[in-house]
Amino acid sequence: MLVATAGLVWMIYLIKNSLGQTLDEPGKDIPAESGNLAPKPAWLRYHVRYYGYALLFLAFDMEMAYMYPWAVVYQEVGLLALLDMGVFLMILFLGLVYTWTQGGLNRQ
Amino acid sequence: MMKYGARKGKMNFFRRWMAKAASRELCIFPVPGSDVLRTYQSESLSGQARLTTNSREANVLLVVGDMSRAMAGQAAIVYAQMPRPRVLVMAGPEHLDPLPHPDVHVTLENDFLTTALPVIREYLSNHSWKDEAEAWRPETLVNKIEEAGQQQGHMHDHGGHDHGHEGHQHGGHEGHDHSAHQHEEHGHGHHTEHASHDHGHNHGGHDHGAHGHGGHDHGSGFMSMIAMTKDLPRSADGLPMEWSDVQFGPFHPGLPGGLCLSMKLDGDTVAEAEADQNLTGRNLLASIPDNPMALPEYLEAVNPMAPVTYRLLAQKALVNFSSEAGNSALTLPEAVLLEKERITSHLNWLAVLAVVLGSDWMRDQAIKHYHRFQNDTGSVPQLSGFIKRVKKMPYLKLKLSVASHGIGETEEHNQGVAGDTHVEHHYEHNADSHSDHCHEEGDEYKPHDHGKPGHEGHGRGSHGSHEQSHEGHEHHHEEHNHSDHQLKDHKQESHEHEHADHPHKEGDESKKHEHHGEHNHSHEMHQHAGHEHHEHVHHDHGSGDEKEQAIGPGLNQLLGDITGPVARAAGIEKDHRLEEAVYQQAGWTPVTATGNNAWSRLMVRLDEIEQSLRFIEKAGNDSGSESSQKINIPSIGMGNGIAHIESPRGKVTLKFHIHEGKLAHVHLASPSAALAGLVKPITEQQELADALTAVTSLDISPWEINP
Amino acid sequence: MTPFLNGFIISLLFVGGVYVVAVLERWSMTGNVNWPGPARSFYLLFAQEEIKTRKHDKVFFETAPILFIGVILLTISILPFGRGSVMVDLGTGALFINAALVYVMVSLLMVGWAVNGVYAMVGGWRALAQLIAYSMPVVMVLTATVMRAESMFLTDIVESQQSLWNILYQPVGFMLFYISALAITFLPPFDLPVAEGELAGGVWADLTGARKLLFRLGRLTLVLTLSVAVVVLYLGGWMGPWLPGFVWTFLKTFLVATSFFAIGRYMPRIRHDHLLEYNWKYGVPLALYNIFQVGIVLLL
């Protein structure tokens, strides 16, 4: 599959190049800002306002890594598995509720 | 011919085939905007070509009508940004200065596009590759770029760094220093994200840290975060961040064509936004014709989207001048014409709003109905059906009710309703969570006072993410929470007035509700307002609390100048049609709503469309024709003429002075200038999408701002 | 039919499917069904010049489109189209879907950063917000389907739906996965990174030529891939009477894809705040409930 991707991409680029070069003109390489020049680079300290969610995502992602093997053996182990994982999920869920009430799940 | 539009090279078989296939797919970038283009079309461009507003995707730049030099300069920037092959089409002017000579030129008339399309296709399929293609280097553009490049050199001097390498610098700092500093409060999100990256985890992939930035040599020694960020402007939650200057320029798809907003963005929240008032100046009022009888025709050009309104206005003023009574009223045929224009103007606006909302169906339907009503083949039941469906569109109300900005909150109950929606939807849905908390009023209230100034400071009437004037139970607590970790300096603007009227009554909430209900129902045409209000009631009762409004002194001033649907959406009943006999006879009352947010403005306009439809139906056989009143200007006439009319955007006033039978001085007051002034408070601290929606909901016509 | 012939037909159907999705996308944007449209856009993108913005981030600018389309093609390779018609029957198939599709959003962020323009930057960070919002429900509901199948092989997941399709067994999970699939492909109403009306093209506004082509092709393929994933996980995969398995898969995929585009056409774009809020406040609890529900039902 990776080979197929590489092949596809290479072919597209090849065809593109055969169709001519880009003419270098002033203003062409400035990012489009609906009719204005945007000469300043946009690489700024961007205020990402959802960092509360990002933190919570980390915690849950770690949890999900443990859930996958659990899910596979769930039916074998039975009720015990449900209870065990239930406790784990409850703890994390409480974490979610805590963040919710503390205002972490908002636009900061 | 296509010297600046063709790619450089020879046409060979393969290229010819590509060009031919590409020419069938025309992406047209309309300048100044698709709403202006629509006024010259009689049906939408469904299969033949595509309208796009992304200059990189377009291959045809279509200039519609004459425009000021500044705007032509911006069109030139768009042209420079278009990848070749590109075609420049001008409809109207022969040549606009910074732009090159047009490849295709057509006269500006109805349906010019259908005549121009085959020519454009022919150009693209045959001339896409040319040996004689040259780079286009206009003076003005080159100068602008150089200037901007020089300014950049001074830009990166915050906190006394030496920034050797501009572009990668900021990313580099974040990646590099975050791992080193211990400043807990600052940017937890960034810290975590970069830290997680640095430790090789791959949560959602912050690869950009890996690439080149991490390895960047800082060069000026270690600087603590505090020193590095001391010059940066601080955001509302206290974090020092850099703001970017960006313009949502004249050719933005979601804004009316020609309206240029320059914004300072703090992340994706708008820190400041302003509408550029000088871009569209065409100096029409400076070169008025001498003959007063030519004034109606001339004034049609003021606003290409409401020409009939201005013509009627000029006629009315002339009749006022020449008749003895000096106070003419609209006749029924004229009123019918005015109402028809109101319908089409609102539909055109709706199409623009639909683009900014992201609903393609709404846009397509609005355009279809616009064209039909423009050609007088409109079907009333279909339009009514469309309006009903828009009102019931899922999620639309939630999305638009968010931004209630408190401009012109003149009456408590209005604010109450506004507050409900704002509270419920914009800020967190903490209603349920807070009802779980046991909050005592006493000890919460004092620290709340303390915490409040910190959060208030978004200027009067603008609430952004901490709505202040809606003093709900929940919000006290919300702010209290925030006050714990966000007691930083905030903008010290007028928060005191909100504080002063901070009655925290819990008791007679239910009584207030009844009061609201009655008051609203006293207006006839207010089913929607009442309905909307009841919906707010439901939302509100979910939390069981009522929001008390603080009436800021002087907020009236801001909305005092505003007329038209924006004012009516705030509950202020200002409508010039109230003074016209024709409307009174038909039993007409203005449509108002409460809520003062984008949703109520949308409702007001939709209801006005319905109202106009009914009015036209009632007027019956008069299909709307010109007035037959006599206008008599004696050649030695002298005096003043004055008239008002209710345009789709608000009240327009025309005053002129006639001296010896010639027009001497004309003064035109249109609502858009005042509306443009509203842009700043309405977008403060709003997320970008909400800000753009709010601005579009104002229906500013940039052509009227400075005619 | 020999596996090779099967595979060949499936690939053809898949490429055809991408074209059909392109036509559907056009329908969702303009309301007409325009059959030659996508082919012409394709050629137009070839005929255009390539523009690289000033001071762009070279590595990201070049790799983002390739990463985008590469990941999507990888995901296709693990999805089963019919009994036995799967390129790589990965032992961790269910996990792989999620893991690979994360890179979709990563590449959006990369391209938003690389272009070095404010519109693209805003779009890029919004893409990241979308990722944070929708990863969790996706992972949790995938886990619930794995629970029923007792293995992460995608073929086993389809086999486990012999008695009752997952859409009826885990309706909450289906709903969440459906919405998350819409979000991962950044289709309207979740098209925040490429908001046409707000950011004038957003993340991919400044891309032209081959890179834009890869992104657009990639997105169409992504829609198709996610539709197949929805079908495999919830709609019983290749199960159906008298037609060969892969035909059923494609039919169901077509239905799912059409519904994706229909929703986008009729709803306004979701607000950035609501995206994260609704997901974490309602989506994640619902997903946890889904796991419990499936767990309890499985034990009964």
User: Within its chain, how far is the Cα of B366 from the centroid?
Assistant: 18
Place of tokens 């990201």: C60
Cβ separation C32–B53 shorter than 8 A: no
Cα B535 from Cα B550, distance rounded (Å)? 22
∠ CA B585-B586-B587 to the nearest 5 degrees?
90
What would the pLDDT profile of A59-102 be if each residue is shown by its tens digit?
888 888 888 888 888 888 888 888 988 899 999 899 899 988 98
What would the pLDDT profile of B402-445 be if each residue is shown by its tens digit?
755 555 444 333 433 333 333 333 333 343 333 344 334 334 33
Cβ separation B211–C60 shorter than 8 A: yes
Please name the member of A38, A57, A72 whose beta carbon is closest to the beta carbon of C150: A72
Cβ separation B80–A44 shorter than 8 A: no
DSSP secondary structure code for residue C85 in this structure = B
Q: What is the pLDDT of residue B387?
A: 92
Q: What is the mean pLDDT of chain B?
A: 69
Instruction: Look up the ipTM and state it.
Output: 0.91
Question: CB neighbours of C224 closer than 8 A, spacing ≥ 6?
Answer: C14, C17, C18, C21, C253, C257
Helix (H) or strand (E) holding B39: none
Residues 150-169 of B with CB under 8 A from C: 166-168
pLDDT classification of B221: cutoffs 50, 70, 90? low
Question: CB neighbours of B179 closer than 8 A, spacing ≥ 6?
Answer: B194, B195, B198
∠ CA C289-C294-C298 to the nearest 5 degrees?
150
Cβ separation B56–C39 shorter than 8 A: no
B75 within 8 A of B61, measured Cβ to Cβ:
yes
DSSP secondary structure code for residue B423 in this structure = I
Q: Work out the burial of residue B619: count CB atoms within 10 Å of its CB; fewer than 13 is exposed, 13-18 middle, 19 or more buried.
A: middle
Cβ separation C59–B128 shorter than 8 A: no
Domains B7-130 and B284-704 in one fold: no
Alpha helices in A1-108 (DSSP H): 2-18, 51-77, 79-101
List % helix, strand, coil for chain B (3-state, nearest 5). 50, 10, 40
Q: B171 at the A interface (CB within 8 A)?
A: yes
∠ CA B496-B498-B501 to the nearest 5 degrees?
110
C49/chain B closest Cα distance in angstroms: 5
Q: Radius of gyration (Cα) for chain A, nearest Å? A: 25
Mean pLDDT of B610-637: 69
Is residue B257 over pLDDT 60? yes
C238 within 8 A of C248, measured Cβ to Cβ:
yes
- Tokens in use for C243? 């037609």
Q: B614 at the A interface (CB within 8 A)?
A: no
Q: Domain spans of chain B?
A: 7-130, 284-704
Cβ separation A61–C136 shorter than 8 A: yes
Cα B315 from Cα B319, distance rounded (Å)? 6
Q: What is the pLDDT of residue B589?
A: 82
Q: B77 at the A interface (CB within 8 A)?
A: yes
Residue B548: strand pairing partners = B471
Closest residue, chain C, to A20 (C-alpha): C49
Classified as helix, coil or strand, B64 is strand
Look at residues B117, B650, B555 and name the one whose alpha carbon lies nearest to residue B345.
Answer: B650
CB atoms within 10 A of CB B350: 26
The listed range with the strongest mean pLDDT (A30-39, B426-435, B676-685, C16-25) is C16-25
Q: Report the DSSP pairing between strands B548-549 and B470-471.
A: antiparallel
B54 within 8 A of C195, measured Cβ to Cβ:
no
User: Above pLDDT 70, what percent of chain C?
Assistant: 100
Give φ, ψ of B690 to 5 degrees: -65, -40
C30 within 8 A of B360, measured Cβ to Cβ:
yes
Cα C272 from Cα C263, distance rounded (Å)? 18
Please name the member of B188, B237, B478 whose beta carbon is closest to the beta carbon of A55: B188
- Tokens in use for B489? 């300096």
Q: What is the pLDDT of residue B510?
A: 40
Cα B263 from Cα B257, distance rounded (Å)? 17
Q: Domain spans of chain A?
A: 51-101
Is residue B184 over pLDDT 70? no
Cα B242 from Cα B314, distance rounded (Å)? 50
CB atoms within 10 A of CB A93: 17
Closest residue, chain C, to A5 (C-alpha): C70
Q: What is the pLDDT of residue B346?
A: 93
How far the first Cα of chain A sits from its last, in Å, is: 42
Look at residues C2, C18, C7 and name the one whose alpha carbon lies nearest to residue C87.
Answer: C7
Is residue B465 over pLDDT 50? no
Please state at what angle helix C209-234 crosses helix C245-266, rounded to 10 degrees.
Answer: 110
pLDDT classification of B636: cutoffs 50, 70, 90? low
Is residue C186 over pLDDT 70? yes
Q: What is the pLDDT of residue B325?
A: 63
Cα C73 from Cα A4, distance rounded (Å)? 8
pLDDT classification of B351: cutoffs 50, 70, 90? very high
Q: C58 at the B interface (CB within 8 A)?
A: no
Q: Which one is predicted more confidently, A19 or C191?
A: C191
DSSP string, B434-452: HHHS---HHHHHHHHHHHH
Cα B636 from Cα B705, distance rounded (Å)? 33
∠ CA B505-B510-B514 to the nearest 5 degrees?
125
Please name the member of A19, A37, A57 whose beta carbon is closest to the beta carbon of B77: A37
Q: B125 at the C interface (CB within 8 A)?
A: no
DSSP string, B481-546: HHHHH--------S-HHHHHS-----TTHHHHHHHHHHHHHTSTT-HHHHHHHHHHHHHHHHHT--
Closest residue, chain C, to B167 (C-alpha): C55
DSSP secondary structure code for residue B470 in this structure = E
Helix (H) or strand (E) holding B645: strand B638-647
User: Within its chain, how far is the Cα of B461 from the centroid?
Assistant: 18
Cα C80 from Cα C88, distance rounded (Å)? 9
Q: Which one is predicted more confidently, C272 or B464?
A: C272
Is residue B281 over pLDDT 80? no
What would the pLDDT profile of C219-228 be if each residue is shown by its tens digit?
999 999 999 9
Q: Which residues of C touch A33 (CB under 8 A)?
A: 117-119
Place of tokens 């202020």: B572
Question: CB neighbours of C12 closer than 8 A, spacing ≥ 6?
Answer: none
What would the pLDDT profile of C45-93 be if each residue is shown by its tens digit?
888 888 888 888 888 888 888 889 888 888 888 888 887 777 777 778 8
Please name the member of A41, A47, A54 whose beta carbon is closest to the beta carbon of B267: A47
Q: Which one is predicted more confidently, B158 or B273?
A: B273
- Tokens in use for B192? 């975590």
pLDDT classification of B245: cutoffs 50, 70, 90? confident
Cβ separation A106–C277 shorter than 8 A: yes
Q: A17 at the B interface (CB within 8 A)?
A: no
Q: Which residues of A touch B356 (CB under 8 A)?
A: none
What's at B675, amino acid-wise?
L
C300/chain B closest Cα distance in angstroms: 34
DSSP secondary structure code for residue B398 in this structure = H
Cβ separation B135–A23 shorter than 8 A: yes
Question: Domain B284-704, CATH 3.30.1380 — does that match?
Answer: no
C125 within 8 A of B204, measured Cβ to Cβ:
no
Omega cis (within 30) before B32? yes
Helix (H) or strand (E) holding B271: strand B269-275
- Tokens in use for C184? 């991962």
Fold of B7-130: Rossmann fold (3.40.50)
For residue C72, the number of C-alpha atoms closer than 13 Å in the C-beta half-sphere is: 28
pLDDT classification of B388: cutoffs 50, 70, 90? very high
Q: What is the pLDDT of residue B188?
A: 41
Look at residues B500, B530, B66 and name the one whose alpha carbon lies nearest to residue B258.
Answer: B66
User: Above pLDDT 70, what percent of chain B?
Assistant: 64
DSSP string, B177-201: HHTT---SSTTHHHHHHHHHHHTT-
Mean pLDDT of B52-81: 87
Please name the member of B135, B232, B428 whose beta carbon is closest to the beta carbon of A106: B428
Residues 100-129 of C with CB under 8 A from B: 102-103, 105-106, 109-110, 113, 116, 118-119, 121-122, 125-126, 128
- Tokens in use for C94? 């269910």
pLDDT classification of B154: cutoffs 50, 70, 90? low
Q: Which residues of B touch A12 (CB under 8 A)?
A: none
Cβ separation A36–B193 shorter than 8 A: no
Q: Which one is predicted more confidently, B475 or B275?
A: B275
Mean pLDDT of B569-585: 82
Look at residues C80, C79, C145 and name the one whose alpha carbon lies nearest to residue A67.
Answer: C145
What would the pLDDT profile of A29-59 be if each residue is shown by its tens digit?
788 777 777 777 778 778 888 888 888 899 8
Number of residues assigned to chain A: 108
Residues 548-607 of B with CB under 8 A from A: none
Q: Which residues of A touch C141 (CB under 8 A)?
A: none
Residue B247: strand pairing partners = B262
B237 within 8 A of B253, measured Cβ to Cβ:
no
